Amino acid sequence: MYKILLILKYLRRRRIAWVSLIAVTMCTALMLIVISVMGGWLRTFRELFHGVNGDIMVDATSMQGFPFYGEMVKQIEALDFVGPGHAAPVVRAFGLVNLNGQRTQGVQVRGYPIETVSNVNDFDASLYRQHISRIDAKAKLADPKLHLTEQERKYFTELADDRTSPSFALAKTAGIRVFPGDLPTDLKIPADLQDKLIYLPSERTMLYRGEMSDADYVRLMALSTEPEYQDAIQTLYHFSDPRRMFRKTVGDVRNWSGMILGDGVASIAKDGTGRDPSLWRIKAELMVAAVPIEGNLPSAENAPPVRPYWIVDDSRTKVYQIDSNTVYVPFDILQQDLQMTEKKSEDGSITWPARTSEIDVRVKPGTDLNKARDKIAEICEQISREQMATGRFAPANGFNVLTWEDSNRDFLGAVEHEEILMLFLFGLISVVAVFLIFCIFYMIVVEKTRDIGIVKSVGATSGGVAGIFLGYGLAIGLVGAGTGFLFGWLVVHYINQLHAWLGRELHIVIWDPKVYVFDSIPNTMNPKEVIIICSVSVLAAVLGALVPAIRAASLHPVESLRWE
Amino acid sequence: MSQLTQQPLPYQSAAPPQVIVSAQGVCRSFRMGRSDINVLQGVDLSIRRGEFIAIEGRSGSGKSTLLHILGALDAVDKGSVAFEGRDYTRFNYTAGLGLKEFLRRTIILFHWIPLLLLVVDAAFYIAFAHDNPKWMKIVDWGGGTALAVIGVHLWLWVLYNALWFFSWLRNYPAERQVAQLRNKEFGFVFQFYHLLPELTVLENTLLSPMVEKSWLGFRAQRRTLVKRAEELLQSLGVGHRMKHLPSELSGGERQRVAIARALMNNPRVLFADEPTGNLDEETGRQIMGVLEKLHREQGQTIVMVTHDRSLARFADRTLILQEGRLQKTDNVES
């Protein structure tokens, strides 16, 4: 009983103990913040990498790819843990892209079979026009503060309900950014054009759906003489029919294939106003580096053609390394440009089968990835063996089967190491707290030597006296861990607001989204980690009190009563 | 004073032996520097039930030491002290110069050496050796030795603590018995009151039952115990000070609180170590009045140590401690 009473009294009356309380609080909060942010970062990293790759990847060992992927896809889809449509071949290559005749950039090119790719990875969710703008539209419809016009509401509802994604098809809508005040207020748009010409005040954008005919152009131009309005209509006229953009191009440019840009690549074509809807009508020229099946570099006569594309969308996977230099094109076209389609030798004796660079597979939730990987590897190897045994095909390069974790091991490993390193460093700092508690408790024990003699003289045992100080340490540990948790939770929970404030008021930007991949700092706490860290804090406080407690216990009652 | 009488404890109902505490051939010496001072050299003493004994002596004559030994706060070098026939000097407070003590001294003696070595080593490196590969060997040797000594040191420290822990564990049953004796059978009043500064007067008074009982046990009897403490404080004239801290009390009041604390568990023997030594004459007389009243009205056994001859008149018996022995016995009828 006296132990609890004395602990409570000492906690209240000995202010010096509050220093150790603050130390425990700060260390607990520090550890919690570090592990939450770093851990959250790692988790997000993993999710994003997972989203980019699918669960399991059959990956070619060389740039020439591997054959028989069609049969492989078929058999993988037949597996009970995969299911139809959940395996997709992907072609990878390096290329040079030129946007609108302005800039050329080296890029990674991924050829996606657009119908199935959204089943195996999160590509669909990364598309701005086809996915994110729809979510934005929903959010806008739900936001009462925006005061949408009738026309806007209609347009956003249609956009939100659109279910055609993902696709490489050219957008049917051209848009131009206009500024408030640019448009005449008394505009009387003819009834038949009201569905086509849409003004979105909330986005400061004017859209024209479909192709603007010359007659409509004349009618619209006649509505107002204001130069900004006329400029806008002229641009829309220009953009709405791609043929008008390239008069010199032979053939129907509407039949060009679509290309989706990583949003980092797209940003080089943007002006300062941010996302420009007209970007989706920019012409891109892509030249890919094909590696012929014979293995040598392409010569002048079989050099890959420069193929024109329409940019139809931009993709934001949120992995900076991918978004900054990747473009996506249809699988068949890329395969063809890379000369990876089936090919026969001139005498017809040798056949080079069609090849792909990888097969991405998504398995059903709860499947053991390593087992699935082994099973898929077994299937693919068997197909490869059987096909080669027919003797009809030229020898080909092999493949590896990897889980998404295997394929990103280096990168994920580096992040994990970083987390462990940070934890170790901050753990080391927290050891200081243990020493601080030790010193403060030692001081308290020395100061309380006579009191120890008194309680021993009324019958306390040395165990009891040690219990006072251990209990004292425990109390400080518990209170410190509690307040530390609270403080840590507040910081972690409001870390983005805090970071924004730091950037706004003090111009300190710690979290550069370019480096750290994500827009926002992870702000969730893992209960397991919280429990571990709080328990370690409590334990550390008790540990710091241990030696002083032993000293207090071993004090001789008479000597301590005589203590001056 | 009648409210002080409580229900007799179970062991009190049986016919108690006349002698409560008996000491035989008690010797105790202290080490001062290199020489031993033999404070007690064979003290024989019997404390009988209901006695008021005063032990007189000059400062440094060892009377406080004798009181501490009788009150189970200190151990003897030789001889024995028994409470109702049970020897309670077995509990060994002084570890002596065993392995534990040797370790302790070694650690204290050498604990600065490796650090010194490291500092010298670092200084040597910075001053001379950092660009001289020949001398680097010496630096390596010095650093290595320092780290080795630190390692050994650390192990000795761990060993010492382990030994301490095991000896504490071994002694624990004996220590527990002695602690119970101090808690239930003996009460102490010290010259410097020795109240816990963080606790109020009431809490200080309740200290012995709080030490004795668990939290739940104390909660269960709280009302009775608080009532008894209040009665005690009332009867000693400090009832109005119950919520105060010791620092807010005068010397006389503090000593009354100390007496109340000592009486709280109904001790068989009350030990008073110069109870008036820190008080002015008038207050000292009042305190002595309190002790005398206790003795007279309740038959409280009291052993008082004092250097003041005038206080001896309150006692039944006065013993004089001189040169380590109880030299003279005075029988004074009260």
Contact A109, A284 (CB under 8 A): no
Range picked from A254-263, A415-424, B66-75 for highest mean pLDDT: B66-75
**Is the pLDDT assigned to residue B238 strictly greater than 90?**
no
Interface test with B, best of A2, A6, A13, A452 (most B CBs within 10 A): A2
- Tokens 């179970």 locate to B10
Q: What is the predicted pLDDT for the residue at A248?
A: 57
Beta-carbon separation of A9 and B188 below 8 A: no
CA-to-CA dists, residue A203 to A37, A188, A200, A274, A316, angstroms: 34, 21, 5, 12, 20
The amino acid occupying position B12 is: Q
Q: Which two tokens stand for residue A271?
A: 């002006």
- pLDDT higher than 90, residue A482: yes
Q: Are A557 and A464 in contact (CB under 8 A)?
A: no
Instruction: Note down the domain range covering A437.
Output: 2-49+409-561
Q: What is the pLDDT of residues A14-56, one digit of tens each?
A: 777 788 888 889 888 988 888 888 888 777 777 888 888 788 9
Tell me the nearest-neighbour CA distance from B64 into chain A, angstroms.
10
Looking at per-residue confidence, does A184 or B193 come out higher?
B193
Specify the pLDDT at position B269: 92
The string of pLDDT tens digits covering residues A342-359 is: 887 777 777 788 889 999
Residue A277 has pLDDT above 70, yes or no: no
Taking residue B271's Cβ as centre, other Cβ atoms within 10 Å add up to 27
End-to-end CA distance of chain A, in Å?
A: 27
Residue A438 resides in a domain: yes
pLDDT at residue A90 in the model: 92
Looking at residue B2, its pLDDT comes to 39
Tens-place pLDDT, residues B167-203: 777 777 788 888 888 998 999 998 888 898 888 999 9
Length of chain A equals: 564
Band (B329; pLDDT cuts 50, 70, 90): low
Report the C-alpha gap between A378 and A380 in whole angstroms: 6
Q: What is the pLDDT of residue A234?
A: 84
Which of B73, B172, B203, B257 to probe the A interface (max A CBs under 10 A)? B73
Give contacts of A554 with chain B, Cβ < 8 Å: 164, 168
Q: How far is B331 from chain A (nearest CA, A)?
A: 30
| Winning range, highest mean pLDDT, from A50-54, A181-185, A539-543, B269-273 | B269-273
Residues in A touching B93 (Cβ below 8 Å): 556-557
What is the DSSP code string of B194-226? ---TTS-HHHHHTHHHHHHS-HHHHHHHHHHHH
Q: Is the pLDDT of residue A272 over 80?
A: no
The whole-number average pLDDT for the span A210-216 is: 85
pLDDT single digits (tens) A442-452: 888 888 888 88
Q: Do B211 and A458 touch (CB under 8 A)?
A: yes
Residue A35 belongs to some domain of the structure? yes
Whether the per-residue pLDDT at A325 is higher than 80: the answer is yes
What pLDDT band is residue A329 in, cutting at 50, 70 and 90?
very high
ipTM of the modeled complex: 0.80
pLDDT confidence of residue A291: 72
Please write the tens of the pLDDT for every residue from A233-249. Answer: 888 888 787 777 766 55
Q: Nearest chain B residue to A458 by CA: give it.
A: B183
Between A1, A454, A550, which is nearest B210 by CB?
A1
pLDDT at A224: 81
Task: Give residues 201 to 240 of B whose Cβ lies within 8 Å of A.
Answer: 203, 207-215, 217-218
Q: pLDDT tens digits, residue range B137-176?
A: 888 888 888 888 888 888 888 888 788 778 777 777 788 8
Residue contact B196–A454, C-beta within 8 A: yes
Contact A10 B198 (CB under 8 A): yes
Is this prediction's pTM over 0.90? no
What average pLDDT score do residues A54-82 get? 88
8 Å CB contact of A458 and B164:
no
Cβ under 8 Å to A: B residues 164-183 = 164-165, 168, 172, 175-176, 179-183
B190, B195, B213 member nearest A1 (Cβ) = B213
Distance from CA of A25 to the nearest CA of B (A): 25
Nearest to B183 among A4, A459, A557 (CB): A459
pLDDT level of residue A103 (50, 70, 90 thresholds): confident
* Sign of the alpha-carbon torsion through B281, B283, B284, B286: positive
CA distance A510 to A518: 13
* Alpha carbon distance A334, A110 (integer Å): 8
Q: Is residue A252 in a domain?
A: no
**For chain A, what is the radius of gyration of the CA atoms?**
34
Contact residues, chain B, for A561 at CB < 8 Å: 73, 190, 194
- Is B168 within 8 Å of A553 when comparing Cβ atoms? yes
| Ranges of H-type helices in chain B | 10-13, 63-70, 99-110, 113-127, 133-180, 201-205, 207-212, 215-235, 251-263, 281-298
- Assigned domain for A330 exists: no
When pLDDT is cut at 50, 70 and 90, the band that residue A273 belongs to is very low
Note whether A393 and A352 are within 8 A (CB): yes
> How far apart, in whole angstroms, are the C-alpha atoms of residue A21 and residue A479?
7
Q: Is the pLDDT of residue A124 over 80?
A: yes
Mean pLDDT (whole number) for A224-239:
82
Nearest residue in B to A3, CA atom: B211
In the predicted structure, residue B95 carries a pLDDT above the cut 60: no
Contact between chains at B194 and A561 (C-beta distance less than 8 A): yes
Which pLDDT band holds residue B10 (cuts at 50, 70, 90)? very low
Q: Report chain B residues whose CB lies below 8 A from the CB of A455.
A: 196, 207, 211
Residue B176 has its nearest CB partner, among A6, A461, A558, at A461
What is the structure's pLDDT at A205?
80
- Residue A479 pLDDT level (bands cut at 50, 70, 90): very high
Q: How many domains does chain A have?
A: 1
- Cα–Cα distance, A181 to A184 (Å, whole number): 7
- Is residue A550 assigned to a domain? yes
Q: Which residue of B has its CA nearest to A4?
A: B215
Q: B303: which 2 tokens? A: 């052993």
* Chain A residues within 8 angstroms (CB to CB) of chain B: 1-2, 4-6, 9-10, 13, 450-451, 453-464, 550, 553-554, 556-558, 561
- A459 neighbourhood in chain B, CB within 8 Å: 179-184, 208, 211-212
Q: What's the confidence (pLDDT) of residue A295? A: 60
Q: Is the pLDDT of residue A478 over 90?
A: yes
Cβ-contact A408, A53 below 8 angstroms: yes
| Residue B21 β-bridge partners | B47, B83
Instruction: Say how far apart CA B107 and CA A290 lie, in whole Å.
Output: 75
Closest by CA to B199, choosing from A28, A10, A181, is: A10
In sequence order, the 6+-apart residues with CB closer than 8 A to the CB of A9 are B198, B199
Over 60: is that where the pLDDT of A10 sits? yes
Interface test mutation site (partner B, options A457, A551, A555, A558, max chain B beta carbons within 10 A): A457
On whether residue A242 sits in a domain, the answer given is no
> Over 50: is that where the pLDDT of A72 sits?
yes
Q: Please tell me chain B's helix, strand, coil percentages from 3-state DSSP, rounded to the nearest 5.
A: 50, 20, 30
**CB-based contact A471:A7 (threshold 8 Å):** yes
Mean pLDDT for chain A overall: 82
* pLDDT bracket for residue B303 (50, 70, 90): very high
Evaluate whether residue A162 is within a structural domain.
no
> Per the domain annotation, does A480 fall within a domain?
yes
B50: left (phi over 0), alpha (psi -120 to 50) or beta: left
Contacts of A558 in chain B (CB under 8 A): 65, 68, 73-74
